[in-house]
Structure 1
Amino acid sequence: MRVALVSESFLPQVNGVTNTVRHVVDRLVATGHQALVVAPGPGPDHYGPTPVVRVRSATLPGYRSFALGLPDRRVGTALAGFRPDLVHLASPVSLGACGLRAARRLGVPALAVYQTDLAGFAHRYGVPVGGLLDAWVGGLHRRADRTLVPSAASRAQLAALGVGGLHLWGRGVELALFDPRHRSDDLHARWAAGPGTGERVVVGYVGRLAAEKNLHRLAEVSRIPGVDVVVVGDGPLRHRLERLLPAATFTGMLRGPELARAFTSLDVFVHPGEDETFCQTVQEAQASGVPVVAAGAGGPLDLVEHLVTGLLYDPADPRSLRRSVARLAGDPLLRRSLGRAGRAAVQGRTWEALVDRLVTEHYLPLARPSVPAGPVRPRRAA
């Protein structure tokens, strides 16, 4: 099968959309399929053996590291040259709209994967365009042949926008990478260096440092006696958070084994965000055997069973987050129980299994055979 993935984000940007596309391409290639990625530039023009066609992009004010794809004729040209059996639209917005139009011109089915709550993000950034964004995103997904959503909350959100044909498709987790065996007592000891003589508890956040993650609430966590805060990641809020949390440890962006070691060396993982369509880092913490505290809203509702595989705090209660973290900080037996149950809950959620299911349950029922095509020669964005 020939699959063209039109993605709003790809390497070198690192985020949930990029990681999902990367794992989909890895598995497609490993199982004998051919893939093409169309993504905003600049960036590498190949991902392994897979061509990456780079199109025009612009940076967002206040978030210079994020490239927003712009309408570009190269999308249609690339798809016409590749002659896909199916077009996969990864978190479609502006570039996804171009991909959808190109798929329609070619008579090729388009599958859309919903992944980003743009209206929620706009609200967090104080931009009053949520209604317009919902209308745009809803219109894109209504025109796609099928839409995949990562959680029950996302399904309800799109259904309210009049989108039908919704199918639940979650995310995989790298169980060999995120494993409790990678815990480093030395790293934990360096982080647990706060004042006092009692046992210190290391509470950490992992992810992008951006407004939609509600990271200002880590200040509440930092005031819990006996707790040391670690922040793993980077983003536009880093300097502000460093001023807000002067005693916290900021590691910057970590990847691969370093990231896995950081995850499993935490005592508690906390994610304050309320607008997550899925929340992949919750799964990664669970795979690492680390108890989770997450918002009782959005994607975490599908991932965390309260008091079984983690704790869900009430976003409407201003004291709930602190109470939840303090409860775990003071109860090592509960931490151990939730960590073990969280690890057990994600067994079987490998990327290989998730992508195989994507192919058999969604790609194959939609795909149409195509004639052979020559190699795609990607061009960099101007």
Structure 2
Amino acid sequence: MGMRVAIVTESFLPSLNGVTNSVLRVLDTLAAEGHDAIVIAPTAPSGRHNGFRVIRTPAIPFMQFPVGIPNLSLQATLAEYKPDVIHVASPFLLGGQAIAAANRLGIPTVAIYQTDIAGYLQRYGMQFARPLVDKMVAAIHSPATLNLAPTPESAAYLVKLGVPRVAIWGRGVDLDLFHPHRRAARLSKIGISVGQRAPGSITSAEPLTIGFVGRLAPEKQVHKMKTLFGIPNTRFIVVGDGPERRRLEADFAGHPVTFMGALRGNDLAEAYASLDVFVHFGTEETFGQTIQEAQATGLPVVAPASGGPRFLIEHGTSGYLADPGDPASFVNYVTRLAEDAPLRSRMGVSARRSVLNKSWEANNALLLEHLSHACRFTSLRT
């Protein structure tokens, strides 16, 4: 028998980010498995998605994000829908209210920790508020029936705050959409075979393409890409949009950088396929979904040895974990990959292999188990 799942999310379409992407994939799984759902979110392009009803809540801007605010209708909406369980994605003000309302209604909740709010505050020069934010995170997550964190590090953070009932649930990746065959097809169009670039050389006619995919916001630290511009015979691609785009375009002017804007679906997959090396500079990533997408495409990744990337990249095998405090570390690792085509190929194969057990189907099958477990746990307590 199918479950009735209310998804309360702090981010939804048209916003494109890790929270939105994860929610969309959860909805795909619920539809495929015959479950029913509603979505409650601060933004929504229409009243339905994938056949499910979408309810838009009042919102205010906060740190360049639309943030859902508590409202009187939320508990009434949940009571009317009568969900078996509430999936709360990256809970903040709206999610916190949903968890509190669910407890009053006797409905189990699964809270998904996805955003390092405390880290973002430091990035935005508001580190003085960290103790208050830590208390707020604990207050939001502690009443949930079950809390899911994407990595052991983020799970440990919640436990340190005193949050009970914490388990690990990562993120999946579309292994069919993001695939090395797209890269082979792209190279064949320009007359290059995969692995054809001369080893030990970065002077081939076709420049090496280095790229980043993600939201263009301060916490992603994309401005650090500029340190790589001195590597010979390279060009750069930036995929994504956000408040930093204009500043980055001005800062990168005069360099071989193409800004492609926000992409989805096949266009996004083709963008990954146009790369030889994927780079990521953000040090506050709780996970790093675009890293997995690059790995599925068969790309070596260079990212900071901080946060989520440490649990996705096997240093020296599927990519490199650079010292986040040393710009030369990124330059050295990317140069090493630029100069050694066989190394790029080996790491690309290892990168793809590292995510073969992380399909969205497998990932969300585990989520459904967690949702069912939350329902059983609540029934045992009542």
Q: Partner of 2:221 in structure 1?
A: 214
Given the alignment, which residue of 337, 349, 354 partners 1:328?
337
Note if 1:295 corresponds to 2:304: yes
Contact 1:4 1:37 in 2 (8 A): yes
> Measured at CA, do residues 234 and 188 of structure 1 come closer, stay the same or move farther in structure 2, by a change above 3 Å?
farther
Q: Partner of 1:112 in structure 2?
A: 111
> Measured at CA, do residues 167 and 198 of structure 1 come closer, stay the same or move farther in structure 2, by a change above 3 Å?
same
Note if 1:12 corresponds to 2:14: yes
Inter-partner Cα distance in structure 1 for 2:84 and 2:313 = 37
Once the two structures are overlaid, the 10-residue window that deviates more, 333-342 or 180-189, is: 180-189
Equivalent position SS for 1:319: helix
Inter-partner Cα distance in structure 1 for 2:33 and 2:147 = 23
Contact 1:202 1:266 in 2 (8 A): yes
> Measured at CA, do residues 18 and 188 of structure 1 come closer, stay the same or move farther in structure 2, by a change above 3 Å?
farther
Given the alignment, which residue of 349, 353, 373 partners 1:344?
353
Q: Partner of 2:194 in structure 1?
A: none
Contact 1:152 1:299 in 2 (8 A): no
What is the Cα deviation at residue 196 of structure 1? 7.5
- Structure 1 residues 125-136: aligned runs within 5 Å: 125-128=124-127, 129-136=129-136
- Structure 1 residues 219-230: aligned runs within 5 Å: 219-230=226-237
Equivalent position SS for 2:232: coil
- Structure 1 residues 67-86: aligned runs within 5 Å: 67-86=66-85
Contact 2:227 2:327 in 1 (8 A): no
Q: Partner of 1:363 in structure 2?
A: 371
- Could you report, residue by residue, the CA deviation over 1:162-214 in whole angstroms, capped at 9, with x for unpaired residues? 2232111111111110011112238889xxxxx98755211000010000011
Q: Please list every run of 5 or more consecutive structure 2 residues that lacks an aligned counterpart in the other structure.
A: 192-201
> Measured at CA, do residues 245 and 99 of structure 1 come closer, stay the same or move farther in structure 2, by a change above 3 Å?
same
What is the Cα deviation at residue 74 of structure 1? 2.1
Q: Which fold has the larger relative contact order, with Cα–Cα distance below 8 Å and residues 6 or more apart in sequence?
A: 1
Inter-partner Cα distance in structure 1 for 2:262 and 2:205 = 30
Q: Partner of 1:172 in structure 2?
A: 172
Equivalent position SS for 1:251: strand
Equivalent residues, number: 361
Inter-partner Cα distance in structure 1 for 2:157 and 2:177 = 32
Q: Partner of 2:196 in structure 1?
A: none
Q: Please list every run of 5 or more consecutive structure 1 residues that lacks an aligned counterpart in the other structure.
A: 190-194, 371-382
Q: What is the Cα-based RMSD across aligned positions, in Å?
A: 1.9
Q: Partner of 1:316 in structure 2?
A: 325
Q: Partner of 1:21 in structure 2?
A: 23
Inter-partner Cα distance in structure 1 for 2:377 and 2:161 = 32
- Could you report, residue by residue, the CA deviation over 1:339-375 in whole angstroms, capped at 9, with x for unpaired residues? 0111011112111111111112x111221699xxxxx
Q: Partner of 1:270 in structure 2?
A: 279
Once the two structures are overlaid, the 10-residue window that deviates more, 341-350 or 218-227, is: 218-227
What is the Cα deviation at residue 68 of structure 1? 0.9
Once the two structures are overlaid, the 10-residue window that deviates more, 113-122 or 220-229, is: 220-229
Q: Partner of 1:374 in structure 2?
A: none
Amino acid at match of 2:139: G
Inter-partner Cα distance in structure 2 for 1:358 and 1:37 = 17
Amino acid at match of 2:178: F
What is the Cα deviation at residue 42 of structure 1? 4.8
Inter-partner Cα distance in structure 2 for 1:243 and 1:280 = 27
- Could you report, residue by residue, the CA deviation over 1:102-158 in whole angstroms, capped at 9, with x for unpaired residues? 101111111111000011111111123222222111221112111100012211222
Amino acid at match of 1:269: F
Inter-partner Cα distance in structure 2 for 1:260 and 1:318 = 28
> Measured at CA, do residues 131 and 309 of structure 1 come closer, stay the same or move farther in structure 2, by a change above 3 Å?
same
Amino acid at match of 1:215: V
Once the two structures are overlaid, the 10-residue window that deviates more, 297-306 or 66-75, is: 66-75
> Measured at CA, do residues 182 and 159 of structure 1 come closer, stay the same or move farther in structure 2, by a change above 3 Å?
same
Q: Partner of 2:163 in structure 1?
A: 163
Contact 1:53 1:78 in 2 (8 A): no
